[in-house]
Structure 1
Amino acid sequence: MMQLCNGRAPRLPHPQPRLHCRRYLYRLDTPDTNQVGAPMNQRAIGVARYLRSASVLIATVISSLLLPSAPAAHAQEMGWWFGNATPSQGRMMRSPRYSVAKRGRESDDRERRQANKETAVPENKPTGPLFAILSISNQHISVYNSSGLVTRSKVSTGMPGHRTPTGIFSIIGRERYHSSNIYSGAPMPFMQRITWSGVAMHLGVVPGYPASHGCIRLPAGSAERMWGLTKIGERVVITPHEVAPSEFAHSLLPVPKLQPSPLTTADSAPRRTEVASAGDDHLPVASPKLLNPLEYAQALKARAAADMTAATKDLQDLGGQRKEAPPDAVRRALSDLRAAETARTQAEAKLAFRTEALATKRDAREIQRAQAAKVAAESQFAEATRKLEAAFDNPAFATPEGRAALVAERNLMALRSALAKAQATAKNAERRLSPISVLVSKKDNRVYVRQALAPVFEGPVTIRDRDTPLGTHVYIATSYTDGSSLGWTVVSYPTSRKRVDDTGSRRHREARADAASDSEGAPPNPAQALERIEFPVEVSALISERLWTGGSLIITDESLSDETSDVGTDLVVTMR
């Protein structure tokens, strides 16, 4: 068997009968282990090692004599070994697999930085009410205020089969550390909910394309920043394509009503009005200050808090004055009177609840049921009132002790009623601090009014030219100028053209397309839509009393979305 050796003697396995090495021209016979030729094997190995060392020395001498005069290219390939002044260039190696992924990430980072430079916006401080517009096709969300664009961020919306709904929404819930109750407790930091069916904005992976299960994913920095900017009640408009807001002014837009302060001003010096700079010089010095709806709600809340404090103190003082125990007959009469008073209070609260529930019903069957429930609540309230009046006529109150106990009880009832009224006023004032939302639906032919995510009013509305589309427009009060006038911004939802039949010849298709274009005409604009709406007088008064910055008016051809529940959601319009 023949084997070539690369500069070293061959390794001799045991046993190996014969081996020839052509490079060193020697022949080695290896006897079996039972023979006495082992010293010859060791001698042959020594000779091979000597010849190998001699050949390396000869090659070194020849290279030192010949290579310095060789061309530079050959010298560079030898590197530093033979004294060349130019460093050798290492052999190109194939990158491992993890380096390919790393290069991909670096490429994505470069593209992202370049995109951020291209979409950079001028500095705009996030003051005043904000609203957001999300473009699904561009996969980004833009936050605006009265001065324009505040910030913009890439997002990742719902993948096919889990599409993110489009339409007009609001932020209805916020949790800094939220865990999904649908997807096995998946963490969703900086969560801002826009529907109770599971759609929210939160921190997540943003690969640059729709990849979520319907939510709106935000990068870490953007999710944290938006959490600090936005608040509950602010509008979020989700559109299939990019739309931009624009400033809007019209004489038919609602105007806020200015009212005197609900606080008592007898002990304070009169102050003149400071709400309209153009007319201040013509107002008398003794005229009270008029408050815009937000200031009025703040003053109303302060007054309610003072009334609750006073009523609570009076109740404690009056309760401490009653030390002597009344006779048994008077005590039983007082017990019956208090039970009747409690029953009447409960019946009154139930009647108020049924009345509010009736205002929120839209289906004819639900309205009928709500009306029946309201009639029953009215009957219960009337019966409770009759029993209370009968309790006041108890014969036990005819005695001197009974008359004294009845007077004290009446005072307690008056104080308890004052406390309950102050608590209701405080609740109403707290609601009025939130922005108001108004929606006009051509499909429902109704107007809906909500505040603090709770219904306030619902009723019919007049819409002229019902056969002509209104479009979908949201008008947002984003600023105020002189304490009474509001600045408005409008966002018009993009209209979708009807699909034209593409069958038949080209000439027929073009004719059908021209006919469809002529029949559709120009898309409705926000001014035309507003001019066709006529609110009832009581609705206009209600809106004026509660409208201030952050309030919104929606005019749409669509119906009120099923995402709008009785309590805890704002007015929602979903587009299909």
Structure 2
Amino acid sequence: MVSRFALTASFVALLLSPATGFAGSRGPLQIIVSKDQQSLVVYDGDAVIATSPVSTGKAGHTTPSGIFSILEKRRHHKSNIYSNAPMPFMQRLTWSGIALHGSNHVPDYPASHGCVRLPGSFAATLYKMTERGVHVLISDRQITPSEVKSALLFRPAPTEALPPLSDVPLRPAISQVGDAPVEIAMTEPPGGATGTATALGEPIRILITRSDARDGMREVQTSLEALGYGPGTIDGHAGPATIAALKAFQASEGLESDGKLTPELTERLLRKAGRTPPQNGKLLVRQGFKPLFEAGLTIDKPEEALGTHFLQFRHNEEEGAEGKWFGASLENHLTASTMKRLGITIDADPFAFNGIQRTLARLTIADDVRRRVEDLLTEGSSLSIADMDSGLETGQGTDFITITRPRPAG
């Protein structure tokens, strides 16, 4: 285990100081908790804004590592699991019970039942500076965000220059039109139909991961539906209606009607429906804690793990017209069975130089998908990359949550 204070001298000075004040943040914040250092650091881009000691989960109640965001905030909260224990300035990270909160007992070692305990005064300060959606990374080791440059990263869609005010025909003020009805012009969000009522100014959350068997089954169901075989709900599960539809398709093709889906049958079905085989990767977008859309993408060298990475977009006067992305990589051990299921033979190295850039360089995203994302891109938008879609925690009322696993000792 790395020493709690095995950091650079400057960082140690920050960490040992009383809850460092927030130094005029100008961009979206992200919070990084290090379990080996028992520390919390607040970043604005790659600049340290505040630090504090913490106490994470003890043995048997380990705090999960991964990518989270603040889902709910409550000034006064009591645990509904542990005898109504007070949890002041609670900031929820999962609906299953993990949160940041203040405590009178924050030793320099793991001591909680899974939450991240903060000194009371710092918890109050942090509570005032955050809002729902602020990202929290919990890592087994100390990680630091840095600027990431890559042509594959999304950039804001260019906006059309508005005509000079002197060239704009002025509408009369309401007081000038008497009782006549007034038509009010509303500006549609960028991208037309791809926008939503929350699109203007609301950060989006992007997840890039591998396609799985369920994605392939959805393609099969969509093809069966297009051919008129009625597979039931297109949900990625081979239910009775889907099996019956497969048998009907096999019979129409002069094949044995056993309802068993093979690669050959999938290829024949998709070709008959005029659809292309599903891509080996997918991009999912959420906004306002709700799913927005998803699309396929191609992962080059699929036998190599993507690794687990998190990036956040800053876009203000300091970053210029294109903005900047700041990212960090998290250690995430894949078991042998998981690697076999995903077809991975080379695991990711979370310490590799330019690891995020190397992963991004392996992705191919269609131009129309890129435009759709960039039409919605605003400051504070984020991008998570992972080999597995950790969907158990991701659901209604959440951003994308990615749970990571450390490499077993020894």
Is this a same-fold pair by TM over 0.5? yes
Of 204, 210, 230, which residue of structure 2 is paired with 1:436? 204
Superposition pairs of residues 240-259 of structure 1, within 5 angstroms: 240-259=140-159
Equivalent residue number for residue 476 of structure 1: 312
Matched, 1:228 2:128: yes
Percent identity between the two aligned chains: 35
**One-letter identity of the residue aligned with 2:284:** Y
Equivalent residue number for residue 525 of structure 1: 355
Q: Is the 8 A contact 2:15 2:51 kept in 1?
A: no
- With CA pairs under 8 Å and 6+ residues apart, which has the higher RCO, 1 or 2? 2
Equivalent residue number for residue 83 of structure 2: 184
Please report how far the alpha carbon of residue 117 of structure 1 lies from its aligned counterpart in structure 2 after TM superposition: 6.6
Superposition pairs of residues 72-151 of structure 1, within 5 angstroms: 119-120=16-17, 124-146=23-45, 148-151=47-50
Counterpart CA distance in 2 for 1:189 and 1:431 is 33
Matched, 1:489 2:326: yes
Counterpart CA distance in 1 for 2:164 and 2:390 is 45
Counterpart CA distance in 2 for 1:437 and 1:246 is 19
SS at match of 2:137: strand
Decide whether aligned partners of structure 1 residues 133 and 117 sit closer, same or farther in structure 2, where only a CA change above 3 A counts: closer
SS at match of 1:543: helix
**One-letter identity of the residue aligned with 2:133:** G
**One-letter identity of the residue aligned with 1:485:** E
Counterpart CA distance in 1 for 2:15 and 2:85 is 34
SS at match of 1:461: strand
Equivalent residue number for residue 295 of structure 2: 459
Counterpart CA distance in 2 for 1:560 and 1:539 is 23
Q: Which has the larger radius of gyration?
A: 1
Decide whether aligned partners of structure 1 residues 135 and 558 sit closer, same or farther in structure 2, where only a CA change above 3 A counts: same
SS at match of 1:259: coil
Equivalent residue number for residue 341 of structure 2: none
Counterpart CA distance in 2 for 1:217 and 1:562 is 24
Counterpart CA distance in 1 for 2:168 and 2:324 is 27
Please report how far the alpha carbon of residue 494 of structure 1 lies from its aligned counterpart in structure 2 after TM superposition: 2.9
Decide whether aligned partners of structure 1 residues 136 and 482 sit closer, same or farther in structure 2, where only a CA change above 3 A counts: closer
Of 549, 554, 561, which residue of structure 1 is paired with 2:384? 554
Matched, 1:450 2:293: no
Please report how far the alpha carbon of residue 436 of structure 1 lies from its aligned counterpart in structure 2 after TM superposition: 0.7
Matched, 1:200 2:99: yes
SS at match of 2:313: strand
Q: Is the 8 A contact 2:332 2:404 kept in 1?
A: no
**One-letter identity of the residue aligned with 2:130:** T
SS at match of 2:128: helix
Decide whether aligned partners of structure 1 residues 183 and 430 sit closer, same or farther in structure 2, where only a CA change above 3 A counts: same
Equivalent residue number for residue 242 of structure 2: none
Please report how far the alpha carbon of residue 442 of structure 1 lies from its aligned counterpart in structure 2 after TM superposition: 2.5
Provide, for residues 6-31 of structure 1, a one-character-per-residue CA deviation record: whole Å limited to 9, x for no partner: xxxxxxxxxxxxxxxxxxxxxxxxxx
Q: Is the 8 A contact 1:142 1:151 kept in 2?
A: yes
Counterpart CA distance in 1 for 2:374 and 2:168 is 22
Counterpart CA distance in 2 for 1:489 and 1:174 is 26
Q: Is the 8 A contact 1:139 1:208 kept in 2?
A: yes
Counterpart CA distance in 1 for 2:347 and 2:402 is 26
Q: Is the 8 A contact 2:391 2:401 kept in 1?
A: yes
State the TM-score, normalizing by the size of structure 1.
Answer: 0.46
Please report how far the alpha carbon of residue 462 of structure 1 lies from its aligned counterpart in structure 2 after TM superposition: 1.1
Q: Is the 8 A contact 1:162 1:214 kept in 2?
A: yes
Equivalent residue number for residue 74 of structure 2: 175
**One-letter identity of the residue aligned with 1:215:** C
**Structure 1, unaligned runs of 5 or more:** 1-114, 273-284, 289-312, 318-414, 500-517
Q: Is the 8 A contact 1:126 1:229 kept in 2?
A: no
Equivalent residue number for residue 46 of structure 1: none
Counterpart CA distance in 1 for 2:155 and 2:404 is 29
Q: Is the 8 A contact 2:46 2:326 kept in 1?
A: no
- Greater fraction strand: 2
Equivalent residue number for residue 271 of structure 1: 164
Counterpart CA distance in 1 for 2:112 and 2:330 is 24
Q: Is the 8 A contact 1:124 1:147 kept in 2?
A: no
Q: Is the 8 A contact 2:307 2:348 kept in 1?
A: no
Alignment: residue pair count: 295
Matched, 1:213 2:113: yes
Counterpart CA distance in 2 for 1:240 and 1:442 is 24
**One-letter identity of the residue aligned with 1:572:** I
Provide, for residues 525-546 of structure 1, a one-character-per-residue CA deviation record: whole Å limited to 9, x for no partner: 0111111112233321221111
Please report how far the alpha carbon of residue 498 of structure 1 lies from its aligned counterpart in structure 2 after TM superposition: 8.6
Provide, for residues 120-139 of structure 1, a one-character-per-residue CA deviation record: whole Å limited to 9, x for no partner: 47973222100011101111
Counterpart CA distance in 1 for 2:51 and 2:386 is 27
**One-letter identity of the residue aligned with 1:562:** L
Of 399, 402, 405, which residue of structure 2 is paired with 1:570? 399
**One-letter identity of the residue aligned with 2:95:** W
Counterpart CA distance in 1 for 2:390 and 2:196 is 25
**One-letter identity of the residue aligned with 2:388:** E
SS at match of 1:526: helix
Decide whether aligned partners of structure 1 residues 182 and 433 sit closer, same or farther in structure 2, where only a CA change above 3 A counts: farther
Superposition pairs of residues 350-361 of structure 1, within 5 angstroms: none
Between 118-127 and 524-533, report the one with greater CA deviation.
Answer: 118-127
Counterpart CA distance in 2 for 1:572 and 1:479 is 24
- Greater fraction helix: 1
Q: Is the 8 A contact 1:190 1:223 kept in 2?
A: yes
- Root-mean-square deviation (CA, aligned residues, Å) is 3.5
Provide, for residues 306-343 of structure 1, a one-character-per-residue CA deviation record: whole Å limited to 9, x for no partner: xxxxxxx99xx9xxxxxxxxxxxxxxxxxxxxxxxxxx
Q: Is the 8 A contact 1:132 1:143 kept in 2?
A: yes
Q: Is the 8 A contact 2:284 2:294 kept in 1?
A: yes
Q: Is the 8 A contact 2:33 2:138 kept in 1?
A: yes
Decide whether aligned partners of structure 1 residues 287 and 572 sit closer, same or farther in structure 2, where only a CA change above 3 A counts: farther
SS at match of 1:429: coil
Counterpart CA distance in 2 for 1:180 and 1:451 is 29
**One-letter identity of the residue aligned with 1:543:** V
SS at match of 2:198: helix
SS at match of 2:390: coil
**One-letter identity of the residue aligned with 1:451:** Q
Please report how far the alpha carbon of residue 495 of structure 1 lies from its aligned counterpart in structure 2 after TM superposition: 5.5
Decide whether aligned partners of structure 1 residues 485 and 220 sit closer, same or farther in structure 2, where only a CA change above 3 A counts: same
Decide whether aligned partners of structure 1 residues 547 and 156 sit closer, same or farther in structure 2, where only a CA change above 3 A counts: same
